[in-house]
């Protein structure tokens, strides 16, 4: 198994443990283990996740200190600093898997859908910067749905936004494209379900 596939299977197994823990009320043996502080980091995956307080990547994938290189920002949007962080981790630590981790009921996606349906006018320029990065992903979903019910649009909009971020990373970095071509790097989209705790990898 190459490093990207191996990291993916470790993340799947970790999320299965997390979901198991939600379902069973008793703490697992692993939760009682002592914490060891790693001297060095050797992250198996880079995660671009949403800043939503309910979706910390280390917890939902049941991973320890040093295992994941996590970038979090509202709406899991792609900005140059995020791509630079990914390039750093991929080059410095040899990490060969990038996961864009969106989630159901994302507030940044919902705000963008609402802005497209009912433009509100003046907003903080900093908040607008987030909406503007989500907009290109979500606009075709809103215009294609033929109605204006936010709740019905958001699920598809969330997945479109995850796929858009995957494409943005791919298009935004020659370093990462080269690693995809020559060294087995993979970029995948995933959606965390707030109701079940499950992570669904999008192109499974
Ligand atoms: Zn979110």
> pLDDT band for position 135 (50/70/90)?
very high
pLDDT of 29 over the 80 cut? no
pLDDT of 28 over the 80 cut? no
Q: What is the Å distance from ligand 1's center to 134 Cα? A: 11
Q: What is the pLDDT of residue 146?
A: 84
Average pLDDT, whole number, for the chain?
A: 94
Q: What is the Å distance from ligand 1's center to 32 Cα? A: 30
Does residue 101 fall inside a structural domain?
Answer: yes
Does residue 23 fall inside a structural domain?
Answer: no
Percent of the chain with pLDDT over 90: 87
Q: What is the Å distance from ligand 1's center to 155 Cα? A: 12
pLDDT digits (tens, 9 = 90+) for 136-154: 999 999 999 888 899 999 9
CATH number for 179: 3.40.1050.10
- Mean of pLDDT values over 35-63: 96
> pLDDT band for position 32 (50/70/90)?
low
Does residue 76 fall inside a structural domain?
Answer: yes
**DSSP 3-state assignment of 198?**
coil
Q: What is the Å distance from ligand 1's center to 146 Cα? A: 24
Q: What is the pLDDT of residue 203?
A: 83
Q: What is the Å distance from ligand 1's center to 110 Cα? A: 9
| Domain range for 62 | 42-201
Tally the domains of the chain.
1
Does residue 150 fall inside a structural domain?
Answer: yes
Does residue 108 fall inside a structural domain?
Answer: yes
**Residue 46 belongs to what H/E stretch?**
strand 45-49
Q: What is the Å distance from ligand 1's center to 77 Cα? A: 10
Q: What is the Å distance from ligand 1's center to 152 Cα? A: 17
Q: What is the Å distance from ligand 1's center to 67 Cα? A: 22
pLDDT of 25 over the 80 cut? no
- Mean of pLDDT values over 42-58: 98
Does residue 13 fall inside a structural domain?
Answer: no
Q: What is the Å distance from ligand 1's center to 197 Cα? A: 14
Q: What is the pLDDT of residue 194?
A: 98
pLDDT digits (tens, 9 = 90+) for 73-115: 999 999 999 999 999 999 999 999 999 999 999 999 999 999 9
| Residue 105 DSSP symbol | T
30-34, 61-65, 81-85, 154-158: least confident range: 30-34
Does residue 35 fall inside a structural domain?
Answer: no
Q: What is the Å distance from ligand 1's center to 150 Cα? A: 15
Handedness of CA 22, 27, 29, 34 (dihedral sign): positive
CA-derived radius of gyration, the chain: 18
| Residue 16 DSSP symbol | H
Does residue 113 fall inside a structural domain?
Answer: yes
């Amino acid at each position: 198994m190459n490093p990207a596939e191996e990291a993916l299977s470790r993340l799947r197994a970790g999320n299965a443990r997390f979901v198991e823990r939600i379902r069973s009320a008793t703490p697992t043996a692993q939760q009682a283990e002592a914490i060891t502080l790693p001297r060095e980091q050797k992250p198996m995956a880079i995660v671009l996740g949403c800043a939503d307080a309910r979706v910390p990547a280390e917890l939902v994938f049941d991973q320890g200190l040093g295992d994941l290189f996590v970038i979090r920002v509202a709406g899991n949007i792609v900005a140059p600093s995020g791509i630079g962080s990914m390039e750093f981790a991929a080059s410095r630590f040899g990490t060969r898997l990038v996961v864009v981790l969106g989630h159901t009921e994302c507030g940044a996606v919902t705000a963008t859908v609402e802005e497209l349906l009912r433009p509100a006018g003046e907003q903080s320029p900093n908040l607008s910067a987030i909406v503007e990065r989500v907009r290109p992903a979500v606009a075709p979903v809103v215009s294609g749905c033929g109605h204006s019910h936010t709740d019905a649009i958001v699920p598809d909009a969330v997945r479109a936004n995850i796929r858009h971020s995957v494409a943005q990373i791919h298009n935004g970095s020659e370093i990462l494209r080269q690693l995809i071509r020559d060294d087995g790097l993979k970029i995948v989209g995933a959606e965390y379900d707030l109701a079940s705790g499950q992570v669904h990898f999008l192109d499974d």
